[in-house]
Amino acid sequence: MKRLSCPFCGSRELEEFLFHKTLPEPGSDAYAAVYERVNRLDDSHEYWQHVHGCRAWLYVRRNPSTGEVHETVLLGGSTP
Amino acid sequence: MSSKLRSGTRLGATQLRFRFDGRDYVGQSGDTAASALLASGVRLLGRSMKYRRPRGLMAAGPEEPNALLTVGTRPLIVPNVPAPQLVLRDGMRLHSQNRWPSLRYDLSSLLQAGGGVFSAGFYYKTFIWPSWRRYETLIRNLAGLGPAPGAADIPVPRIEHLSCDVLVGGGGPAGIAAALAAARAGANVVLCEREPVLGGELDFERATVDGREASDWVAVSLAELAGHGARILAGTAIVGGSDGLVVAHTEPGGLAGKATVYKIRPRRFVIAMGAIERPIAFVDNDRPGVMLLGAAERLLARYGVAAGASAVLFGNHDRLYQAAQRFVAAGIRVRAIVDTRDAGTLERRPALAALRAGMMRAGVDCLVGSAVVAAHGRLEVNGASVARRAAPDERRRIECDLLLVTGGWSPAVHAGLHEGGVRRYAGASAAFVADGQPGWRATTGAARGILELGAVVKDGHAAGALAAQACGAGAAPGIAPVAVGDCEPALEAFWRSPARRAEEKRQFVDLQNDVTVADLRQVLAEGFIDIEHIKRYTALGMGTEQGRTSAVLGAAIVAELKGEELPGVGIARTRPPYHPMTLASLAGHRTGDQLRVLRRTPLYAWHASHRGVLESAGYWMRVRYYRSNGGDATAAGIEEARRVRAHGGIVDGSTLGKIEVAGRDAAAYLDRLYLTKASTIKVGRSKYMINLREDGMVLDDGIVLRLAPDRFLATTSSAHAEHMLAHFEHYRDVEWSGREVALANVTEAWAVIVVAGPSSRATLGMVLGADWPARIGALTHMDFAAAPWQGRELRVLRASFSGELAFELHCRPASAVPLWEALAAAGLPPYGLEALDILRLEKGYLVSSELTGSTTPGDLGMDALVRLGNRCVGRDLLDRPAFQDPARPRLVGLRAADGKAVIVGGAQLTLDARATRPLGYVSSSAYSPAVGEWIALAFVARSVAEGAELIARDPLRGSNTAVRVAPPVHFDAGAERMKS
């Protein structure tokens, strides 16, 4: 997966983005939210940020085995 | 060595001069080094890697295993360029490789006459006693291919980025048909071909396409492609592709041409990279003059070079006869055609019978059910021994000076395997094709195992049309071209000629790595039965050739020796780069200054011109010390620190991270991010704050200024600025979205000059002038004042990182140099990071050595802050029992027990010199001019009391120093100087 589609800026090279972390399971307590993650071969829920672009935080859902991106959501207050 | 001009499809009319191994030769424009040398009668072109056997040209492309040349003049040389890939230039200097002292008389071949010692994996079993290092230099000098260039001054390639709908890899018949179909359908097409001229084998096959000469069709098609706006990259090789990115590379085998690396992002990739001819193994099948059939055909058609005068052809398919026809017509005497297939096969094919009859009438001895069992000659082939397969010991010799071998073709699977995929055995071509490709790539033509021209062109057209359709190009791709060329080869798999056991060590399977049938038998006997292990143990399929001619042959012989079927044995996985690339090409322009970003403060030029020693700290260039203050960092640092306490000094703090936080909810937002409350800061005042990571560890510290009720400036340490900004943005956008908070990274909008020392207030007031002295005089610790200075904004914050009376000036970058120079001229000398560190260490202030990311506020002595603290990020996980463990280290100071010794940073602290479990370690240390001895900050188990004696141990340098636990503040414990 060499490109990511930023909802604000469009399809951009992967180098413009920074992967932050995968999301904890919904309903995790503080400890689990920091230390525990569930690994899925086909469905990964991730936070990325378009650091060399609009600096938007993005929720990305993708298949880590094939690199296929299912969903990219712009997070934060204002919508484009 | 005639100087008459040859004619061929690639040749021009200009004569070119070049030099090979010190002798001068003449070639023509369009020649390759291989064709020019062969035309000049030079047949000995290299020596093999291990056994140093004399070798000549075997192939016509990058699959050439032995004729590898070094181009250029030392130190700017490029090694390992296959001679058939090297397009000749006037004045080119070429050298053969792997020989000493010369190609013809090579002494190293004597050293390696003992074939048994150097069989596969010899370095695991020999040259070990008494120490393998004794042999290493000798073996390294003898091993390998060409020499590496000695100079760093290699031209940097251009990097070009392209996007397109359909990328077609390979400009042969399938590739051109695919590109045409896609372009006609309206797709944006890029066609990439590694040879300088497109057309593939059409230039010697004498084919017709749509009724016209193949070369005409190629020319017309390329013109049509250009008309559709397609981009044609000739002389450009595809080196790898995965994840939607294909990298191609043109590096015209030398330095005069400029290399270009193409990074292509196609929506669809059609792989039409053809099939590579493979040899058959027989005894001494590596002699100069033993060549692949297609190589000789290409030499003849493209370059007008007859590779020999009297040839024997040996193979397992119909094209032998068609090639023989072409050679006879060109005046090369064909002594015999040795066909491994039996008479029964041939009788069933009347068209073939007619061909054979014609050859026999021309005086060619047509043998069936036979094989060439050995080649004769040493520096050149001078004969071949043939025998019937049924009676391999009844050998007879045929005189020849050219022995052309063809075992069929292996589809070029490399490019199709760089991103998963499997190898599927295709029986018709007795080879493997790449299958199970990800959706954006498809293979077509000979690369897919289709060997007959008509079918190849049709398949290419279909693939191109399909790719265009997948990109949404809906126009009509046109009718597939109808091509008629050489017949279907009707190949019957044949891998090696019969041989006696003792002869197997001269039946070569991989000519580049000198892997023989005997090696394969040995490696199986040693238990390496998986093809991947066999590859690594014997080196089969390594080197520049990467198994192009040897992988399938090797696998088939392994299958024969194991008694298994070839599909079960498989071939080893290949990886990019498909062609060798120089490291310079891979690096591109990311070298030297362009490898990492360099950030400079507005005062950089001043520091550089005033003998400041600048070092990179993270991405910033910062002053460590000024050379006028001492010979080295330590001496200068001590002098600069002493001067600040005695009188005063200025330091450049512009790298400090600064984030403005504004909005209605800014105060509440900051309260939740920092351990201490921001909402209680009054306007015009600041506070020292720390924030925590989600797991409770201290993340960073800094000062937060309140500029207005709804506006704050948060400073962060220089190293953490980027991270803190992302941290702030995360909480605003993800965890607590819906709050009205604006964030701005103003790190580079404000230069920071720190004025510290007893004379700082007076000097600063004098320099700033106007009513500044009164304003500064009114500032108490942690207050700030903001007003213009020389027309630009200035904030003066009374805060100290040195423990002296100090002021942090935040000014606009344009004011930085005038302000700094004015302060320096007023008698405040500059100091650097070395002194900064000594000053803060004397006061027990924290930097990254203490804020390591694995220290809690409790570890750092900030229990009071925690007790008063907020419900902020990370607070929840701070209440873990392990953080109260008495063995958990906390921050203390250290002094040498004798008041004199050096305390080494990083030293482990134990109770005595024999204990093995440390109680802690030294995090920072320095000689303190204020105290007159070495001081340190350390982390020591909470159970160790103040005053306890410990040993600081440095196992690397072997020193043990007695130290005493002391308070972390070594100087001016009451902070009198700061509050004065």
Nearest to B381 by CA among B485, B284, B241: B284
Chain B environment of A52 (Cβ under 8 Å): none
For the full predicted model, state whether its pTM sits above 0.80: yes
Question: Are the Cβ atoms of B244 and A1 closer than 8 angstroms?
Answer: yes
Q: Which of A1, A2, A23, A60 to mutate to test the interface with B (most CBs of B within 10 A)?
A: A2
Per residue in B749-794, pLDDT (tens digit) is 999 999 999 999 999 999 999 999 999 999 999 999 999 999 999 9
Q: Which of A31, A49, A56 lies closest to B877 in CB terms?
A: A31
pLDDT computed for residue B129 by the predictor: 78
Segment B556-575 shows an average pLDDT of: 92
The ipTM, to two decimals, is 0.94
Question: Are the Cβ atoms of A77 and B726 closer than 8 angstroms?
Answer: no
Rounded CA-CA distance B306/B323 in Å is: 13
Per residue in B711-728, pLDDT (tens digit) is 999 999 988 888 999 999
Q: Which of B247, B733, B875 to mutate to test the interface with A (most CBs of A within 10 A)?
A: B733
Q: Which of A4, A12, A55 to mutate to test the interface with B (most CBs of B within 10 A)?
A: A55
Segment B656-671 shows an average pLDDT of: 95
Phi, psi of B333 (to 5 degrees): -80, 125
Rounded CA-CA distance B37/B20 in Å is: 8
Residue A73, number of CB atoms within 10 A of its CB: 10
Contact yes or no for B509/B516 (Cβ under 8 A):
yes
Whose structure tokens read 């080879």?
B431
Nearest to B406 by CA among B531, B535, B539, B282: B282
Report all structural domains of chain A as residue ranges with CATH numbers, in order of start: 3-74 (3.30.2270.10)
Rounded CA-CA distance B814/B580 in Å is: 50
Give, for B315, the enclosing helix (H) or strand (E): strand B310-315
Question: Are the Cβ atoms of A49 and B726 closer than 8 angstroms?
Answer: yes
Question: Are the Cβ atoms of B729 and A57 closer than 8 angstroms?
Answer: yes
Chain A environment of B737 (Cβ under 8 Å): 75-77
pLDDT computed for residue B149 by the predictor: 77
Residues of B with CB under 8 A from a CB of A: 243-245, 265, 438, 694-695, 722, 726, 729-730, 732-734, 737-739, 876-877
Closest-CA residue of chain A to B727? A20
Q: Is B668 helix (H, G, I), strand (E, B) or coil?
A: helix
Q: Which of B597, B729, B731 to mutate to test the interface with A (most CBs of A within 10 A)?
A: B729
Chain A environment of B726 (Cβ under 8 Å): 18, 20, 49, 51
The distance of A2 to chain B (nearest Cα, Å) reads: 6
Q: Which of B244, B722, B730 lies closest to A57 in CB terms?
A: B730
Chain B environment of A51 (Cβ under 8 Å): 722, 726
The share of chain B scoring above pLDDT 90, in percent, equals 71
Question: Are the Cβ atoms of B877 and A67 closer than 8 angstroms?
Answer: no
Nearest to B289 by CA among B262, B312, B270: B312
Q: Omega before B101 cis (within 30°)?
A: yes
Chain B environment of A2 (Cβ under 8 Å): 243-245, 265
Q: Which of A2, A66, A75 lies closest to B733 in CB terms?
A: A75
Q: Which of B693, B730, B878 to mutate to test the interface with A (most CBs of A within 10 A)?
A: B730
**Tokens describing residue B730:** 């995360």
Alpha helices by DSSP H, listed for B304-349, are 319-330, 343-347
Question: Looking at the predicted structure, is the pLDDT value of residue B582 above 80?
Answer: no
Per residue in B104-137, pLDDT (tens digit) is 887 777 766 655 667 777 777 777 778 888 888 7
The distance of B733 to chain A (nearest Cα, Å) reads: 4
Rounded CA-CA distance B893/B317 in Å is: 86
pLDDT computed for residue B142 by the predictor: 72
**Tokens describing residue B474:** 């809906």
Query: What is the interface size between A and B, counted as CB pairs within 8 Å?
Result: 47
Question: Looking at the predicted structure, is the pLDDT value of residue A79 above 50?
Answer: no
Per residue in B22-68, pLDDT (tens digit) is 999 999 999 999 999 999 999 999 998 888 899 999 999 999 999 99
Residues of A with CB under 8 A from a CB of B: 1-3, 18, 20, 30-31, 33-35, 47, 49, 51, 55-57, 66-67, 75-77
Question: Are the Cβ atoms of A75 and B244 closer than 8 angstroms?
Answer: no
Angle CA B579–B582–B585, to nearest 5? 100
Give me the helix-helix angle, B517-525 and B531-538, nearest 10°.
120
pLDDT computed for residue B1 by the predictor: 44
**Tokens describing residue B686:** 């600041």
Per residue in B151-165, pLDDT (tens digit) is 666 667 888 999 999
Contact yes or no for B608/B285 (Cβ under 8 A):
no
Pairing of strands B686-692, B657-662: unpaired
Rounded CA-CA distance B619/B504 in Å is: 60
